[in-house]
Amino acid sequence: MVRNPSNRAQFRPGDHDAEHFLLTTVVGSYPKPTWLNTVKELSEDPDAAFDDADLAEAYDDAARVITREHERAGLDTVVDGEMRREEMVEYFAHRIPGYEFNGPVKVWGHNYFDKPSVVSEVEYDDPWLLDEFEFAADVATRPVKVPITGPYTLARWSFNEAYDDTAALAYDLANLVNEEIKGLVDAGARYVQIDEPALATTPDDHHIVGESMERIVDGVPEDVRICLHVCYGDYSRIYPEINDFPIDEFDVELCNDGYEQIDVFRAPEFEPDLALGVVDVHDPEVESVAEIKGNIRQGLEVVSPDRLTVSPDCGVKLLPREVAYQKIANMVQAAREVEAELDAGEIEVAAPKS
């Protein structure tokens, strides 16, 4: 039940001369400038002459720098690198009435996670991302994609002390995400990505994510592109079920395992557009343009060129910043070269034509 994949045409730059167009984008997070971390430490020091206004200015500066860095790399759609976010669940839980925090919990090794608790019915109060989107959209000359942590992940990665089960909590959170997206759409957003990494570890709950997506897109215009990102896991456990999800694009992480699972999506026919990870975000070695072109061709085994989006496997925030930039720049160059080879008839596409 694909929504309207043809809405990708709006992201083709006016000066894109090639006949074919592979949409290039990023999943979301990006390394923060090192000075931003220093600024945050200063903001927490009571002896430092540094107030909330100074910190807000620093976030704006970082968002401006990274948005333009994405444009310099040549991306067709950009993100501000999630400069204002530290963690994908905490950021939203702090903004949703019904959540509270009771201290960090140990998750692996010596790492701790400030896992929130849902203690009462969740509610929608102030917008979560409106300021972030409006700032990035004002800075950018390219369309801005908005990543939002999905309701299933927000529910699964929280302590649930108020709802009967994860599904009930996820559905209420999905209603809040729907309200948030409508506000973003009113502000001009045309590309929204729902991140559901928790589905990779509990794939049998795919029906909860499907029902949540139904609620998320309710009343959202079909010219707004809705992407679902699920990283890692056994995709055969959730495919072909995702063909029934009301989405335009499904974003997967396959480069890290050498595309061992690419055949999962070849039969039955893949219905949404495919956003394919073509650089490994866990490997600090920068892939060559030639190598990335080979990875892009893996996607052409599943969908035709007009349905292929090219992106990193996942967020790149754990990489050194110069490595993240070069991976993305090489990715864009590889996409442009593949487009030229498609135009010249030098690439045979195995996927069904759209």
Q: Binding site for Zn(2+), residues? A: 229, 231, 253, 314
Identify the H or E element spanning 227: strand 225-230
- The alpha carbon dihedral of 45, 51, 52, 54 has a sign of negative
Residues belonging to the binding site are 229, 231, 253, 314
- Does the bond joining 203 to the residue before it have cis omega, within 30 degrees of 0? no
Q: Cα separation of 114 and 106, whole Å?
A: 9
Residue 9: exposure state from Cβ atoms within 10 A (0-12, 13-18, ≥19): exposed
Q: How far apart are the first and last CA of the chain?
A: 15
Contacts of 250 (CB under 8 A, 6+ apart): 227, 228, 230, 242, 270, 272, 273, 274, 275
Beta-ladder partners of 310 = 24, 276
- Does the bond joining 104 to the residue before it have cis omega, within 30 degrees of 0? no
Identify the H or E element spanning 211: helix 206-217
Q: Cα separation of 158 and 260, whole Å?
A: 32
The rounded radius of gyration (Å) of the Cα atoms in the chain is 20
Distances (CA, A) of 21 to 202, 248, 250, 306: 35, 17, 18, 6
Q: Cα separation of 14 and 11, whole Å?
A: 9
